[in-house]
């Protein structure tokens, strides 16, 4: 960690809260004074700077505009720092972290997202350990090569690939899980890096940043008894470019004639339909059962084992950069940064 520089970026969220002594209410603290809250940071042998959004954002209010602001902060400081730690609210952290992983091509430095379930000003907070270890990972280099040159998410002793994570719990410290991909590292007495599952460092490629998003997408979750009116109304929404269909099991849906006809009509009208499973573990295989083959024949695009967070953010970014349907599908099916199996 000698001579490394890490930039903390506080976007908002529970981790940045302390108790106001006069009112007893939680309020964001000044991140330029972070060592007062976490004096352990003074023991690091790397330089740590911090910047914060002018107005901290509750993660429920995150949107593509804030993702753009965040990545522009990273781009403006990319050459000056060896690693980045992004502090973010837990509710939509997996969405933002997934989006950032797609927005930065040929990333060659660690970007580690973290946060906490309890404010950093609370005695029992999980924020201190999450923050300290995230910084250690972001500054970890060997022979001038970063150990984790990708966008990752660290929480409760585990480091995950960012675009493989989903928030699992609102009540436990182990709030995140990666159901279809192994952890990148685990923190114990030492940090055990699993180099065989970490993305390799891009060779001789210049980093690129993408900022264009298209939000004209929708998600339709199937359930037993879903009505024809509900489906047809959903598919007929104005200005929709693509729909993510959350299906059962390995990508199965009802074979009712009215349902398949509604899907076919939407596709004929130019709407892209992506098939994502409702299951937390496993992937879509539209060739396995008749209930999935029907969708495949109509031109529904299988989403493999993408998380819903990854599918949404990747699709938004692709649609923001091209309106050509065949190109959208080709790029969506391509594995960009290890987001799918």
Active site amino acids: 14
Bridge partners of residue 244, in order along the sequence: 219, 274
Place of tokens 């076919």: 264
Residue ranges of alpha helices (H) inside the chain are 34-37, 64-77, 93-103, 127-138, 228-235, 257-268, 290-298, 308-321, 325-333
* Tokens linked to 32: 């330029």
CA nearest to 156, candidates 173, 139, 170: 173
How far apart are the C-alpha atoms of 180 and 155, rounded to whole Å? Answer: 17
DSSP 280-331: SSS---TTSSHHHHHHHHHTPEE-TT--HHHHHHHHHHHHHH---HHHHHHH
Q: How far is residue 178's CA from residue 191's CA, in Å, rounded to a whole number?
A: 18
Q: Which residues of 157-192 are buried (b: 16+ CB within 10 A; e: fewer)?
A: bbbbbbbbbbbeeeeebebbbbebbebbbebeeebe
State the residue for tokens 């599952």: 197
Cα 157-162-168 angle, rounded to 5 deg: 65
Residue 50 near residue 31, CB atoms below 8 Å: yes
- Asked if residues 215 and 240 have their Cβ atoms less than 8 Å apart, the reply is no
> Two tokens at 236?
């007929």
- Backbone φ, ψ for residue 57 (5° rounding): -110, 125
Identify which of 298, 162, 258 has the alpha carbon closest to the alpha carbon of residue 275. 298
Look-up of token digits 């599918």:
311
């Amino acid at each position: 960690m000698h001579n490394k520089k890490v930039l903390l970026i506080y976007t908002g969220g529970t981790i940045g809260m302390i108790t106001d002594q006069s009112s007893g209410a939680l309020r964001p603290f000044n991140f330029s004074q972070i060592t007062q809250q976490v004096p352990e940071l003074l023991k690091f042998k790397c330089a740590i700077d911090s910047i914060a959004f002018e107005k901290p954002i509750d993660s429920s209010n995150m949107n593509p505009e804030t993702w753009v602001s965040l990545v522009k902060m990273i781009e403006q400081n990319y050459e000056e720092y060896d690693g980045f730690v992004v502090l973010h609210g837990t509710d939509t952290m997996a969405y933002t972290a997934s989006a950032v992983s797609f927005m930065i091509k040929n990333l060659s430095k660690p970007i580690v997202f973290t946060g906490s379930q309890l404010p950093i000003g609370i005695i029992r907070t999980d924020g201190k350990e999450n923050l300290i270890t995230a910084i250690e990972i972001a500054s970890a280099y060997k022979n001038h090569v970063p150990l984790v040159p990708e966008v990752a998410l660290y929480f409760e002793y585990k480091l995950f690939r960012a675009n493989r994570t989903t928030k699992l719990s609102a009540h436990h410290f182990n709030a995140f899980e990666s159901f279809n991909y192994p952890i990148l590292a685990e923190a114990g007495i030492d940090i055990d890096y699993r180099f065989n599952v970490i993305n390799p460092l891009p060779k001789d490629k210049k980093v690129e940043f993408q900022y264009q998003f298209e939000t004209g997408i929708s998600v339709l979750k199937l359930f037993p008894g879903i009505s024809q009116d509900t489906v047809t109304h959903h598919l007929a929404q104005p200005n929709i470019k693509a729909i993510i269909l959350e299906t059962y099991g390995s990508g199965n849906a009802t074979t009712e004639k009215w349902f398949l006809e509604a899907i076919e009509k939407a596709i004929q009208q130019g709407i892209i339909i992506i098939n994502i499973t409702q299951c937390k573990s496993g992937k879509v295989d539209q060739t396995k059962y008749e209930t999935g083959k029907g969708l495949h024949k109509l031109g529904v695009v299988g989403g493999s084992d993408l998380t819903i967070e990854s599918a949404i953010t990747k699709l938004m970014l692709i649609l923001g950069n091209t309106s050509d349907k065949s190109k959208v599908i080709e790029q969506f099916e391509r594995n960009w940064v290890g987001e799918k199996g």
